[in-house]
Every structure is written in C-alpha cells, then in structure tokens.
Amino acid sequence: MKNKVLSRREREKLRQRHDIIKAALDLFSEFGYHNVSMHKIAKKAEFAIGTMYKFFPNKEELYLEMIMEFSEKANAVFIEALEIPGNEIEKIRNYVKVKGEVLMENEATLKLYIDRTHLASTYITASFNEDIQLLYEKLLMKLADVFEAGIKAGLFKPLLTPYYLAISLNSIISSFLLLWLRDPKQHPYTKNAATILDLFLTSIKSSKDENEPQIKKLEC
Amino acid sequence: MKNKVLSRREREKLRQRHDIIKAALDLFSEFGYHNVSMHKIAKKAEFAIGTMYKFFPNKEELYLEMIMEFSEKANAVFIEALEIPGNEIEKIRNYVKVKGEVLMENEATLKLYIDRTHLASTYITASFNEDIQLLYEKLLMKLADVFEAGIKAGLFKPLLTPYYLAISLNSIISSFLLLWLRDPKQHPYTKNAATILDLFLTSIKSSKDENEPQIKKLEC
Amino acid sequence: MKNKVLSRREREKLRQRHDIIKAALDLFSEFGYHNVSMHKIAKKAEFAIGTMYKFFPNKEELYLEMIMEFSEKANAVFIEALEIPGNEIEKIRNYVKVKGEVLMENEATLKLYIDRTHLASTYITASFNEDIQLLYEKLLMKLADVFEAGIKAGLFKPLLTPYYLAISLNSIISSFLLLWLRDPKQHPYTKNAATILDLFLTSIKSSKDENEPQIKKLEC
Amino acid sequence: MKNKVLSRREREKLRQRHDIIKAALDLFSEFGYHNVSMHKIAKKAEFAIGTMYKFFPNKEELYLEMIMEFSEKANAVFIEALEIPGNEIEKIRNYVKVKGEVLMENEATLKLYIDRTHLASTYITASFNEDIQLLYEKLLMKLADVFEAGIKAGLFKPLLTPYYLAISLNSIISSFLLLWLRDPKQHPYTKNAATILDLFLTSIKSSKDENEPQIKKLEC
DNA sequence: TATGAATGAGGTTTCATTCAT
DNA sequence: CATGAATGAAACCTCATTCAT
C-alpha cells in the first residue's frame, strides 16, 4: 500500500518534471538559451522558482535534460521507423516520412533538433555535447546499418560508405525541413521529401531495379 | 601628401576594426554570442573597452557586422568560384572545392558559417536575420542558375528544381565540413567531397554523358 | 489567520519599501540625483542591489516615487493645516506654522521640497514633472481658495489675485526656510515667519481691521 | 608691436573661451549638468575635446566658471540698476524692471539663475557653492542697503530688517519669473511685477506718502 | 515540502580625461 | 598648439541561485 502511495507521488513528480521540460522546450526553442530566464520558465510551468531547483540542479542541467528527453524520444521513434518489416528501400522511405511527421508536429522540437544536429551547441559544456552527439551517432549507425544491408542485398550500389549515405540523407532531410519551417506553403516537406527521396534512392539504386517506377517530373 | 596622411589613418583604423572583428569571430564562434562579454573581446583584441564602442555602437552591431563582413567576403569568393570558364559540371566542382578550401582555412569562420546558414540565430533581431538570409539566398540563386544552365545545356536531368538542387548540394557540403571539423583525419573533406560530388553529379547527369569516367569505388 | 499572515508580509514589505525611500531621500537631497548610485542607496538601505529592483523598476522610478510619496504626504498635511476651523487669517497662520514644522523636521525633505517647488528638475521625464507640478498646483489652489474666501469675507483686500497671493506667500516661506537651512541660529524660521506673516497679512488686511494688534517692531 | 600681437591673441582666446561658455550655458540650462557631456559642449562650441581642457581644467570648473561669469555680469547689471539717481522707491522699481528685462532676455540664464539662487546646487563642491553664494550675498547686501537708506529717509517702515526685505523681494521676483517661464502669456512678468511691487512697496511705505498713487485694482 | 524574497556577480555601456601626433 | 583616438572607472540593471519560512 505504501508502495502504491509512493508510486502515485512518483508519477505526480514525473508529470511535474515533464511540465517543466515542456515549458522550457517552448521557451528555449523560441528565444534561445540565454534569452530565457529560470523565472520565465517557472512562471510558464506554474511553479515557484525554488521548486525548479528541486527538479534540476541548475539551468544548464535543465536544458541538457530537456534536449536529452526529446532526443531520446525522437530517436526511439526514428529508429523504430527503420525497423518496420520490408526491404531497405521501404525502411528508408518510412524513416523520411516519420521524421517529417514527428518534427513538423512541433516546430519547437524541430528548431531544437536541427540546432542540436548541425551545431556543437556552444551554450553548454563539452561533456554534454558528447552525450548528445552519442545519441545522434546511434541513430546514424542504425541508418547506416540499413544502407549497408541494402547494399549487401544488392538494392543499393556501394557508391558511398553506409555512414556517409546516412549523413547525406539526414542533411538533406534537415535542409528541407528548414525550408518548410521558413515557408510551409512554398516548400511543402511531404511532397518535396518524396521527390528528393526518389532522387536519392534512384541515384544509389543498383541497376537490377532499373524497372522501378521512374522519378516523377517536377511540376513547379 | 595630406591625402596620404588621411589614407594612412584610415588604413590604420580599418586594420584595428578588422582586429576587433577577428577577436570577436574567434570568441563568438568558440563560446557563442552570450558567453562572450565585450570585455573579453576587448582584452583579446588588446583594446580598452571604450575603444570597442568607438568602432561599434553596441555588442549586437559588432556581431552583426562581423557576420556580415565574413559572409560577404565568403559569398563573393563562392560566387566567383561559380564563374570560372567551363561547363556547369566544372563550375560545380570548383564551387565545392573552393568552399572547402575557404572554410577549412579558418575553423572559426566555418562554425559561424554553418550556424548562419542553417539556423535563424535567436540572438539577434529579426531584421538582421533577414539581411543575412538575403545574402545566403543570393548565393543559392547563383548556384541554382548554374544548375539551370546545366539542365538547359542537357548536362543535368531536371530531376529537381534548380533551387532544390542548390539547397541539397549545400546541405551535403555543410554536413561533410562538419564531419571534417569534428575529426579531420577520419573525415578528410577534400577526399570525401570529391566522392560525394561525383555521386551527386552522376545521379543528376543526363544519360548522354554516360561514357564519363565511372565513380571510383570507395576505399574505406 | 491567513489574512493576518499576508498582512504581516505586506506590512513588512511596506516597511522595507519605506526604508529604501528614506535612504534615497537622504542621499538624493544631499548629493543630487546623478551623484548617487543605486549601489550607494542599496548600501545605505542595507539591501542587496538586486533587492532594490524588486521594489522599483529603475532608478528614475525610485526617484519619482520618492518625490511623490513625500509630496503627497506633505501636501496632505499642508492642506489639512488650511482646514482648521477659524477665519482665514487663522488658517494662513496655521499653514505657515505647520509648513515650517513639517519641513524643518527633516532637512532632506526640505531641500527636495524647495527644489521640487521652484525648479522643473531636469533629471526627469517631462511627464513626471507634470505630475509633480499638478500636486503642487493643487496646494496652491487650496491656498488661493483661502485667500479668496478671506477677500469675500472682507478680511483681505483684493490687491492681488488669490493665486498670486498664494504664490507670493509660498515663495517667501521657501526663502526663509532656506535661510534657516543655511544658518538656523541666525535665521530662526519660527520667529522670522511670524514677523513676515504679520507683515504679509497686514499689508493685505482690509482697513476695517485696522484696530488689530500693531506689527511688533523687529528686535534684531 | 609684440604687445599688440599678444593682445590680439589674448582677445582671440577670450572670445573662444566665451564661445565655450556660451555653448555650455545653453546645454547645461536645457539638460542639466549630468546630462551634458564634454563632447557635446565641444561639438556645440566647435572645438576639439582636447581644446576644451586647454581652457578649463575639468568639467566642474567649466560649469563653475560659466555660472560665475554670468552671475558676475548679471550681478553688476542688477547692482547698477540700484544705483540710478533718485529715491529708494525709484531704485527698487528700477531693480525689479531690470531684473526682469535681463533674465527674460535669455531663458537659459533665467533657469540657471533661479537654480543658483534658491538651491545649493548639489552638483558641485561646497567650496564653489560658497563663492557663488558670496556673490549673491553681495547683491542682497546692496539691495538691503537701499532698503535701509529708504527706512532712514523715512520712506519705508522698519517692519522687517533690510536684509529680510531684500530676501523677500527677491523671492517674489523669482516666483513670478518662474510663472512667466512656465506660461508667458498667462503670467506676463512685466505687468505682474508692477502690481506686486506696488503691493510690496505700499505695505512697507511709511504713512507720510499716503497720498501716493493708489494701487490699481487687478483686472483678471 | 514548496515557496519566493533576497542575493551579488557580472553584463553592457557612458563619458571625463589624457597624451601622442 | 590643437587634435581626437584611446582609456578605464563606474554607472545601471539582470538573473541564476540560495535559504529561511
């Protein structure tokens, strides 16, 4: 019974923790690390400032854990997207689709995600950057594995190391997500991603699939 | 003679201004805008704090002018790289080569360049972001022009709009420059860039060039 | 009970606010607005600098509220002094007496009061000067009302508009308060004020009171 | 001949010195001591900043000398006004008239004059305040002398010490000059001064002049 | 335990003054 | 001599963090 009480408390605590992280995410992604004070986060999360420090030892740690939390969650989803049954082409297609879905769902997350991916964020201690880098690396590895499997299966030509293929794909995805973020109407990610993916896959597809559906001509 | 005196003063002033910008570039790129105080820049540039404000009205303006200065310089060089005589394939090859040369030459510049390119920096007023964005857009347009010319000349297949081709190429270049920055030995840009460029060009090259030199197999 | 707790906090807060204003009053009146730093006020009030800004958003506002607080308080007392039962001569006598009592009680207040009265202080935004001017004007009006009533009652001769009588009386009071401030022994306000008031009243008293007690000859 | 050259130089220097003081007067009276930088004065006077310090050792001294210069000039004029031939009543009348003429001529001077008269200017070292006070005292003495002579001549009743009469007269003049400064149309100094002076003089005039022109009734 | 008042280091910026040219 | 570039002390204010209640 005591266990249950504790469990409820713990759940409550976790919920509060999450509320803080949510508030921090919104504010940090909109204004940047240094333009958001702990007081503002506290206000948005509807906690007293002292309470914030019960959950996180300092601002940097809050930022770190916020990044980590959503990175881990997103990573899990992206990796999952690569594990659907089917061949490697289908996996890659799904990955690109899911990545767009998840990140377009929440612009705040997207901004932070791209920031995190491309830039050694200069706000924060190097050691943290390693952690975050490691997490991203894990995803890259998984993606590289899929490319490698595709190559082994004869689906893709070994034009590039699998790792570089992963890097390239991700960088292109990020660019087009950024374009979408700046002007969603003029640069619809879903449609563009399909086209670019087709191009990307075509360019590395091995010739035995030559009878695959041709790349659609662009309309705009 | 008086002209000469004035000219010397002006040159001296320009040199000092450049010294400040250089110090700012190094520090900002290493620690980020908000982790660098004007005092630190002053110390690094070996000026008194008051002198800083003779050259730049405030910190934001210093940052802005620093970004602008190197962006304009880099942009000019990159655009020039696209204007060498030769066909579009040669132009693109030269662009990728020059971009690497210029940016690898100065890591600080590289970090800031990628930051600037990918991210609407939250430090700075929106109006400034527009200026900087415009500058980048100009480069993209120029690059897109080359792709378009290439398509018209029958060198490239119209798989993607020229603008999207430009975006894609740039995003891949940035990614591989970042890789190089993190571990220059394991990810030599010059070599990788050549490979990736080959892949990129091959994938969009029109079939009449099919007898072009085959893509070299990767060694690692 | 909860009400009581809140009330205590509020009272504490008000006391602190007053302590700050008291420190500011002493320092501003002695050294002038620009020769007193927020740090000095903080030190004198025995608060940390940050605490100052919890109570007042900035230095100007602290100055403004300080002026306003004591102006309102003093004004209320002065107006009250004009509302004692009795005829207009008695009211004026009381006003001069009370004004001296209140202002001599605190030299700091006196300095600032005279400054405020005579001088559009160049430190502070025009809009504030208007507020402070309005407050002073209110007192002048009240004083003028008393003169007017005295004229209607046949006590005073309508030699000057009531408003100008008010101005004149106040300016003389200020002058003699200043004299007292510079050398209290040589220029005792209480005694001088009585004499001057007699002179002032005599000169405007209507003739039907001619049998009033003669003005005492000066002794010094 | 050399004497002549020097003399011209000296005259030139004096003119420049005066130009600086003029610029300082305009700026200080409009914005206040601490809101005017040496650079601004230098710009207005069209001198280099270094040149300013050839004329005045520091900002405070410049302020001091500025006050002194115009105080001495004004004082001389006011004292002169008291030395016209005629009886004491005529002298006082002339004094009030001239004071208005001189000070209304230049609002900047007026502001500074009243500031200086009423307030121990808190900007500046005490020793300076003494100097300036002494100068003012000299004028007061002269004015008191006139009152004393008037009393001795049987023109005025010895209701107040001559010194206090001087103080009172000056304070009233200042008040009405201030009123004029705030709203010249509603409070025309020349007209008001005449009325008030009449009142003032009547109240202290000895009875043997009872057949003097009656005080004009106020119109407004 | 949660609170939020209090803290003070440290940031940006101004400006009186100096001194090499 | 006049100049004005350079100086740096010191001002105002913010905000991460602590701790008594």
Top-confidence residue, A164 or B202: A164
| Residue D52: nearest nucleotide (C-alpha to C1') | F2
Q: Considering its fold, how many domains does chain A have in total?
A: 2
Asked if B179's CB is within 8 angstroms of A218's CB, the reply is: no
The DSSP element (H or E) to which C150 belongs, if any, is helix C126-152
Best to test chain B binding among A111, A122, A219 (most B CBs inside 10 Å): A122
> Is the shortest CB-to-strand distance from C38 to strand F under 7 Å?
yes
Q: Is residue A220 part of a domain?
A: no
Distance CA B38, CA B59 (A): 7
Give the pLDDT confidence score for residue D4 in this predicted structure.
Answer: 55
Asked which of C38, C57, C76 is the last residue of a domain, the reply is: C57
> Is the shortest CB-to-strand distance from A53 to strand F under 7 Å?
yes
Nearest residue: Cα versus C1' of E11: B37
DSSP per-residue codes, D147-207:
HHHHHHTTSB--SS-HHHHHHHHHHHHHHHHHHHHH-TTTS-HHHHHHHHHHHHHHHHB-G
Same domain, D194 and D124: yes
Which chains have 3+ CB pairs within 8 A of C? Answer: D
CATH of the domain at C200: 1.10.357.10
Chain E positions within 7 A of any protein Cβ atom are: 2-20
Question: By C-alpha distance, which of B201, B169, B168, B208 is closest to B89?
Answer: B201
Q: Tokens 């430090």 correspond to what residue?
A: B123
Which chains have 3+ CB pairs within 8 A of D? Answer: C
In the predicted model, is pLDDT for residue B110 greater than 60?
yes
Asked which of D10, D34, D57 is the last residue of a domain, the reply is: D57
Domain, as residue range, for D140: 58-209
Nearest residue: Cα versus C1' of F2: D51
Distance CA A54, CA A36 (A): 19
Question: By C-alpha distance, which of C16, C23, B173, D206 is closest to A118?
Answer: B173
DSSP class of residue C207?
G
Q: Is residue D95 part of a domain?
A: yes
Considering only CB atoms, which chain D residues are within 8 Å of C115?
119
Same domain, B181 and B96: yes
Same domain, D64 and D22: no
Give the pLDDT confidence score for residue B79 in this predicted structure.
Answer: 95
Chain F positions within 7 A of any protein Cβ atom are: 1-20
CA distance A107 to chain B (A): 13
Same domain, D134 and D198: yes
B42-70, pLDDT tens digit by residue?
A: 999 999 999 999 999 999 999 989 988 88
Q: What is the pTM of this model?
A: 0.86
Same domain, B106 and B152: yes
Q: Is residue B215 part of a domain?
A: no
Q: Is residue C1 part of a domain?
A: yes
Average pLDDT score over residue span C153-180? 89
Chain B 38-67 residues whose Cβ is under 7 Å from strand F = 47-51, 53-54
In the predicted model, is pLDDT for residue A14 greater than 60?
yes
> Is the shortest CB-to-strand distance from D47 to strand F under 7 Å?
yes
CATH of the domain at A20: 1.10.10.60
> Do chain A and chain B touch with ≥3 beta carbon pairs under 8 Å?
yes
Q: Is residue C215 part of a domain?
A: no
Asked if B172's CB is within 8 angstroms of A174's CB, the reply is: no
Residue ranges of chain D whose CB lies within 8 Å of a chain C CB: 30-35, 114-115, 118-123, 158-161, 164, 167-168, 170-172, 174-176, 178-179, 182, 192, 195-196, 199-200, 202-204, 215, 217-218, 220
Reported as a pLDDT band with limits 50, 70 and 90, residue D118 is: low
Q: Is residue B220 part of a domain?
A: no
Same domain, D164 and D186: yes
Considering only CB atoms, which chain A residues are within 8 Å of B159?
195, 199, 202, 215, 218
Asked if C160's CB is within 8 angstroms of D218's CB, the reply is: yes
Same domain, A67 and A12: no
Average pLDDT score over residue span D101-112? 84
| Residue A52: nearest nucleotide (C-alpha to C1') | E2
Q: Tokens 């005529």 correspond to what residue?
A: D90
Give the pLDDT confidence score for residue C94 in this predicted structure.
Answer: 95
Same domain, A45 and A100: no
Give the pLDDT confidence score for residue B70 in this predicted structure.
Answer: 85
Cβ-7 Å neighbors of strand E: A 47-51, 53-54; B 36-39, 49-50, 52-53, 57-60; C 12-13, 16, 47-51, 53-54; D 34-39, 49-50, 53, 58-60
Same domain, C197 and C152: yes
Mean pLDDT of chain D: 84
In the predicted model, is pLDDT for residue B217 greater than 50?
no
Give the pLDDT confidence score for residue C213 in this predicted structure.
Answer: 43
Mean pLDDT of chain C: 84
Residue ranges of chain B whose CB lies within 8 Å of a chain A CB: 29-35, 111, 114-115, 118-123, 158-161, 164, 167-168, 170-172, 174-176, 178-179, 182, 192, 195-196, 199-200, 202-204, 215, 217-218, 220
Reported as a pLDDT band with limits 50, 70 and 90, residue C216 is: very low
Answer whether D110's CB lies under 8 Å from D181's CB. yes
In the predicted model, is pLDDT for residue B100 greater than 90?
yes
Distance CA C41, CA C60 (A): 13
Answer whether C160's CB lies under 8 Å from D195's CB. yes
Bin D190: left if φ > 0, else alpha if -120 < ψ < 50, else beta: alpha
Residue from the list A118, A168, A203 with its beta carbon closest to the beta carbon of B178: A118
Bin D215: left if φ > 0, else alpha if -120 < ψ < 50, else beta: beta
Question: By C-alpha distance, which of D182, D217, D216, D208 is closest to D87?
Answer: D208
Task: Find the Å distance, CA of residue B41 to C1' of nucleotide E13.
Answer: 15
In 3-state terms, what secondary structure has residue B156? strand
Average pLDDT score over residue span B11-39? 91
A52-97, pLDDT tens digit by residue?
A: 999 999 999 999 899 888 889 999 999 999 999 999 999 999 999 9
The DSSP element (H or E) to which A111 belongs, if any, is helix A107-118
Q: Is residue C93 part of a domain?
A: yes
C6-59, pLDDT tens digit by residue?
A: 677 788 889 999 999 999 999 998 888 889 999 999 999 999 999 999 999 999
Question: By C-alpha distance, which of D163, D167, D135, D170 is closest to D147?
Answer: D163
Asked which of A42, A57, A72 is the last residue of a domain, the reply is: A57
Same domain, B121 and B21: no
CA distance D73 to chain C (A): 23
Reported as a pLDDT band with limits 50, 70 and 90, residue C200 is: confident
A156-169, pLDDT tens digit by residue?
A: 888 889 999 999 99
Give the pLDDT confidence score for residue D54 in this predicted structure.
Answer: 95
Same domain, C2 and C94: no
Percent of chain D with pLDDT over 90: 45
Give the pLDDT confidence score for residue B116 in this predicted structure.
Answer: 62
Distance CA A130, CA A64 (A): 11
Asked if A30's CB is within 8 angstroms of B122's CB, the reply is: yes
In 3-state terms, what secondary structure has residue C205? strand
Average pLDDT score over residue span C180-209? 82
In the predicted model, is pLDDT for residue B9 greater than 80?
no
Give the pLDDT confidence score for residue A31 in this predicted structure.
Answer: 87
Same domain, D81 and D142: yes
Distance CA D87, CA D100 (A): 20
Nearest CA in chain C to D175: C171
Nearest CA in chain A to B178: A118
Top-confidence residue, C214 or B154: B154
Considering only CB atoms, which chain A residues are within 8 Å of B182?
120
Top-confidence residue, D1 or C124: C124
| Residue A57: nearest nucleotide (C-alpha to C1') | F17
Residue from the list A158, A171, A204 with its beta carbon closest to the beta carbon of B174: A171
Top-confidence residue, D204 or A19: A19
Top-confidence residue, A45 or A156: A45
> Do chain C and chain D touch with ≥3 beta carbon pairs under 8 Å?
yes
Give the pLDDT confidence score for residue C97 in this predicted structure.
Answer: 94
B12-22, pLDDT tens digit by residue?
A: 888 999 999 99
Question: By C-alpha distance, which of C66, C78, C58, C86 is closest to C19?
Answer: C66
Residue from the list A118, A171, A218 with its beta carbon closest to the beta carbon of B160: A218
Q: Is residue C220 part of a domain?
A: no
A103-150, pLDDT tens digit by residue?
A: 998 888 888 777 665 554 555 555 666 778 888 899 999 999 999 999
Residue from the list C121, C170, C218 with its beta carbon closest to the beta carbon of D160: C218
D44-85, pLDDT tens digit by residue?
A: 999 999 999 999 999 999 998 998 888 888 999 999 999 999
| Residue B59: nearest nucleotide (C-alpha to C1') | E12
D167-210, pLDDT tens digit by residue?
A: 999 989 988 998 898 889 999 999 998 888 888 887 777 655 44
C95-136, pLDDT tens digit by residue?
A: 999 999 999 988 888 887 776 665 555 555 666 677 888 888
